[in-house]
Amino acid sequence: MEMTPRLEAAIRWLASDNTVNAYIYDPDIMRKRLGALRSIMPAGVELFYAMKANPHPGFLAAAAKAKGIEIASLGEAEKAVQADFEPSRLIFTGPGKSMEELAWSVDHGVRTVHVESLTEAHRLHTICCERGKHQDVLLRVNANFDIHEAQTNFSGGSRKFGVDEETLGDVLPRLLALERLRFRGLHVYCASGVLNVADLLMNCKLVFDLVHQIEMANPGVECDIIDFGGGFGVDYLETGNDFDPHAYAEGLNDLIEEYGFQGRSFVLELGRYLAAPAGWFCTEILDIKESRSKKQLICAGGINHFRRPAALAINHPVAVLRREQKPWFDEQVSVRDEHVYIGGPLCTSADKLANDIYIEAADVGDVAVFGLAGAYGLSMSNIEFLSHRRPPEIVL
C-alpha cells in the first residue's frame, strides 16, 4: 500500500500529539470516483451513496452530486438531512423498519421506501391511510441466484432480505392492491464486494428477465425504477484486479438496449466502491512479541475501532509508518521481512486486525496504517467494547 506525503504528514503529526488511533479521510477521493462514474454511466442510471459505508459529514458532502442517499435508519435520515439532502433525495432500504421510521418517510416525502415484505407494506399503507398520503415504493426481491465469489451474498437461498422471487405471483398483486402505495419497481441487491464485472452484469440480466416476466404477467404494471443495490468491489488483497467501471457501464448499456428498457431509472446504491479508498485507519504498535515462532503485533486499536477485517476474515492492505523510536530495552522484538499476526488491545481472541500479512519492517512505536478503510470502518465497529476512547476522524 502506498502512502502519500500528505497522509504521512498527518499521521506523523497525530503521533507526535500522542494520538494513538485515528481515522484519516480524504473525501475528495470519493468525490472524484463519484464524478468519474457519473460521467460514464448510461442514461437513466442514478447513483446514490449508501451512507452506511461512512456517515461522516465529509463523505456526505462528497456525495453532494449523487442523485441522493440510500438510508437504512432514522439516524441516517437525520444525518443526511443535516448534510442538506432533501428527503426527496433519500431512498429507504433495510429488512426491518420501525413504525417511527416508516412514518418519518411518509411525513417527510422520502423518494421511495423499499418494502421487504407484505407485513411491512401493510404497516406503511396503514400510516399512509392515517395521513391521507401516498408513498412510492419498490419491492425488494430475494432473487433465486447468487454470486459465488462475492464477499457477501444478499440473495439466493433462504434470506431475511425481501420476498422470495418464486412468491412474486402471489405477493405482487397483494402489494398492488394497497392503493396508497405506488408501486414503482424492484430492488434486487444480489451481493457486495464483487470485483468481477461479468458476475454483476449477469445479475442485471437476470433482474431484467424478472422485470420482463412481471410486466407480461401483470398487464398495466410497469417497473419504471430498477434498483440493483450496491456491490462494486475494491481490491482489498491488492491483486491488481480492480473493479472495471467502464466495462460495467458498457455492459449495462448493452443490456438496456437489448431489453428495450430505455427511459427507465436504474438505481445504484454504492458504498464501498466510493468510500473505501478515501480512508485509512492508523493505530500505534504498542508491543511486538514472538509467540511460538510467529510475531504478534499488538496495536492500540482493534475491533472496537476497525472490526471489518475480523468480521469478514480478510486482510486490508497495511503499511507501517516508521518512527525510529529508541527501544525500551535491548532485546525488544522487531519485525523484519516476515508474515505476522496483527491484533488489538481487547481481551478477546476475536480482536484481529490482520493475519499472515507480510511486513517489511516494524518496531514498537511505529504506526500501522490500514488502507481501504474509508468504508465500513468505524461505522461497523464495536465502539463501546472495553470503552476505549473513540478514535478521532481527521479530514485531510
Q: Which residues bind ligand PLP (CB under 6 A)?
A: 50, 52-53, 70, 93, 189, 192-193, 229-232, 269-273
The rounded Cα 243 to chain-centroid distance in angstroms is: 15
**How far is CA 315 from each of CA 87, 120, 308, rounded to the nearest angstrom?**
37, 38, 9
The CB-of-50 to ligand PLP minimum distance in angstroms stands at 4
Pair type for strands 112-115 and 393-395: unpaired
The CB-of-270 to ligand PLP minimum distance in angstroms stands at 4
Q: Return d(Cα 209, Cα 244) in angstroms, integer.
A: 24
Residue 12 neighbours by CB under 8 Å, 6+ apart: 321, 323
The CB-of-135 to ligand PLP minimum distance in angstroms stands at 18
The CB-of-282 to ligand PLP minimum distance in angstroms stands at 22
- Which residue, 10 or 110, has its beta carbon nearer to ligand PLP? 110
- Which residue, 87 or 231, has its beta carbon nearer to ligand PLP? 231
- Which residue, 3 or 311, has its beta carbon nearer to ligand PLP? 311
- Which residue, 20 or 91, has its beta carbon nearer to ligand PLP? 91
Q: How many of the other CB atoms lie within 10 Å of CB of 389?
A: 13
- Which residue, 180 or 306, has its beta carbon nearer to ligand PLP? 306
Q: Whose CA is closest to 356, among 368, 371, 341?
A: 341
Q: Return d(Cα 120, Cα 96) in angstroms, integer.
A: 8
Q: Return d(Cα 297, Cα 353) in angstroms, integer.
A: 10
Q: Whose CA is closest to 56, among 387, 357, 376?
A: 376
The CB-of-244 to ligand PLP minimum distance in angstroms stands at 16
> Is 175:140 a contact under the CB 8 Å cutoff?
no
Crossing angle of helices 99-108 and 74-82, in 10° steps, is 30
The CB-of-237 to ligand PLP minimum distance in angstroms stands at 16
Grid cell for residue 180? 396508497
**What are the counts of helices (DSSP H) followed by strands (DSSP E) for the chain?**
11, 19
Grid cell for residue 67? 442523485
Q: Which residue is nearest to ligand PLP (CB)?
A: 230
- Which residue, 65 or 322, has its beta carbon nearer to ligand PLP? 65
The CB-of-296 to ligand PLP minimum distance in angstroms stands at 31
- Which residue, 97 or 180, has its beta carbon nearer to ligand PLP? 97
